[in-house]
A and B are shown apart, each in its own frame.
Chain A
Amino acid sequence: MPSLLSVRDLHVSFDTSDGVVQAVRGLSFDVRRGDTLAIVGESGSGKSVATQTITGLTRGARISGEALFDGIDLLSAEPATLRRIRGARIGMIFQDPLSSLHPYYRVGWQIVEMIQAHDQEISKRDARGRAAELLSLVGIPQASKRIDDYPHQFSGGMRQRVMIAMAMALNPELLIADEPTTALDVTVQAQVLHVMRNLQQQFGTAIILITHDLGVVAQTADHVVVMYAGSAMERARRREIFYRHHNPYTEGLLLSLPAQGEAGERLTPIKGTPPSLIDLPPGCPFAPRCPYVFDRCRVETPPLDDVFRDPFHQSACWLSADEATRERQRAALKATGTS
């Protein structure tokens, strides 16, 4: 089955007064219909820039590569084509629901406007009925009343539900959710994730979930892309990322989690800090922080290649793609001490 969205070798850079920031460097991934793809990474890894570029939201950036959505290249599409796709066939929700909603307009009005912008045929009354239906679909009680409320009259979790209702209004094939629950409390987050999951099952929507929270990834994703310094370090199905990861960066992320190990034990952080995206070192971007680094890593950038003989599993690392050999390598490198 062909992918719904297929991103190939995406590069995004910005000119700044300090130099060229290479925010995304050769990113490729696929999203299949009805699947959830999680893109994980720390701040500055390029995960948001990548998806914003795909939806045409990074003005002034230098972009190359390809992003095929159902056969249409979003990166080279005419603005009019892009406008028809964005909103209607690709819905988006962002971290902060308050700044995504207009404070002066009633939420119902905002949803109606959005529906009418893409569907000139629909009457105001029908659009309003649809808006109420959407609000109750995302679990807003008394939706037909609350449709006339202003954004500030909703709590944070309810606002995010309004955003989801709006993003789902035209029944998009793809929903891009950029840290949708980061600003929410855990009890609210659980409810919002539940709403998203429900809608996905009901309508078969594919979701790109951008997050830094590995807990959320473990609970929701089908496939995972781990990003670092603008490129994908590892790509695999969810279980492989957690139990059979290949890349030392993925390992480092998982080991840093306080949920690992017993309470009171020392955590295992990744040493150092991420590199500057203006002046990247040659070779693997993770090499300066990697516990298994060897000479080749500092010179040549490893490609994202299949590992462990799994067609769904790729890792950008010079350690062997064969599991047994890799284990021996790792043991040897750890023993010699990290230079």
Chain B
Amino acid sequence: MTTDDALLRLVGVHKHFPVQIGALLSRGHEFVHAVDGVDLQVRRGETLGLVGETGCGKSTLARSIARLYDVTSGSVWFDGRDITRLSRRAMRPLRREIQVIFQDPYGSLNPRRRVGSIIGDPFAIHGVASGARRKKQVQELMELVGLNPEHYNRFPAEFSGGQRQRIGVARALALRPKLVICDEPVSALDVSIQAQIINLLADLQDEFDLTYVFISHDLSVVRHVSDRIAVMYLGKIVETAPTPQLFEAPRHPYTRALLSALPVPDPEEWSLQAMCERDAEGRYTALLDLLQLCTDAAYKLSDDLVARYFTHSGEARHSVGG
């Protein structure tokens, strides 16, 4: 295979987490297949949207890409190089090129450190710049993401949610990465602020030729930012398509369920109407059944484990309805 224009390539990536089942003596291990065989390519300069619902494995996949997790099997290729089994030491220079922006602008910044030193961390860790030069670079970054450089010495608590997310963006961009993984970067923000951050990310992409993997559960946001979208369900990518195509002609039933469940902010387009109509026998139309099926399956995945846990400990029987 050529390395051509794919900056990132995932081949059959699995990530399993052990889950303890049963009492102390009869302890055994079961595995949650959080990522269950993912093949994916991300081209240079594009934004790949990764959508899916709670527990589908999208964040685990993101962390596997950034090598914050070691994958169970499969391989991760970055810039034409297999990075799956690189040692910590060999991985270090690559960490400059793959950065992550996290969802929670409150949890991802150390509240006891000043903003200047938080954004300056990447420089310190990689020994890139120090002293006055570092301060100057940090202030340039702050300006770039729309923060006042004079606020260099403030603490995170003195900033609003949107401004904190800008701090997270500045930190991620400090070392001019090639790939930025945005893990629900705007989910915690109000719509008016959300739009500011989405615009900022778009501007930075143009300016620095960034490649984004944009993870979100919000289809309207993903639709807006992505060139291509991958839909993830139960640890697998069920459909990948260019954005317009995915919305016009979704092929997988889960994608269809996801799209039809999205409440459209337009009263003329009553998106939930289809599911409120009954057929001659008074049953709801197929869409509602489909939604129910999808959530039941997603729930059972983890639920079976819970159920077995209870049977082992003699606590209770358990059934998932339906």
A residues apposed to B, CB below 8 Å: 42-43, 140-142, 145-146, 149-150, 153, 155-158, 185-191, 193-194, 197-198, 212-220, 238-239, 242-243, 252-254, 256-259, 263-264, 266-271, 273
Contact = CB atoms under 8 A, between A and B. Distances in A.
B175 interface: no
Interface string B265-295: 1110111100110000000000010011011
B319 A145 contact: yes
Contact of A256 (B192, B263, B276, B291): B192
B299 interface: yes
What's the dominant secondary structure at chain B's contact region?
A: helix
Interface of B: 53-54, 160-163, 190-196, 198-199, 202, 217, 219-221, 223-226, 243-244, 257-258, 260-267, 269-272, 275-276, 288, 291-292, 294-295, 299, 303, 306, 316, 318-319, 321-322
Residue of B54, B191, B224 with highest tally of chain A CB at under 10 A = B191
13 contacts: A43-B161, A141-B321, A156-B54, A185-B54, A187-B261, A193-B263, A215-B220, A215-B264, A256-B191, A256-B192, A263-B223, A273-B162, A273-B193
A189 B190 CA distance: 19
A218 B321 contact: no
Contact of B191 (A149, A157, A190, A214): A214
B191 A212 contact: yes
B154 to A, nearest CB: 15
A142 B318 CA distance: 12
A216 B263 contact: yes
A215 B162 CA distance: 22
A198 B272 CA distance: 12
A269 B299 contact: no
Contacts of B264: 215, 218-219, 259
A257 B264 CA distance: 11
A16 to B, nearest CB: 15
B192 A270 contact: yes
Given A219-B270, A269-B193, 13 more contacts: A157-B295, A185-B295, A186-B217, A190-B272, A191-B295, A193-B272, A194-B288, A198-B276, A219-B267, A253-B191, A258-B194, A259-B264, A273-B193
B319 A215 contact: no
B186 to A, nearest CB: 9
B53 A186 contact: yes
Given A219-B272, A267-B199, A238 B267 contact: yes
B321 A146 contact: yes
Contact of A187 (B160, B225, B257, B321): B257
Contacts of A213: 263
A52 B220 CA distance: 31
A187 B191 contact: no
A10 B281 CA distance: 48
A258 B321 contact: no
Contacts of B306: 153
A186 B260 CA distance: 9
A42 B276 contact: no
B222 to A, nearest CB: 9
A187 B53 contact: yes
B199 A269 contact: yes
B267 A218 contact: yes
Nearest to B274: A190
Contacts of B275: 190, 194
Lowest 10 A-B CB distances belong to which pairs? A141-B321, A215-B263, A269-B195, A258-B224, A190-B261, A185-B53, A270-B192, A42-B190, A267-B195, A256-B195
A242 B190 contact: no
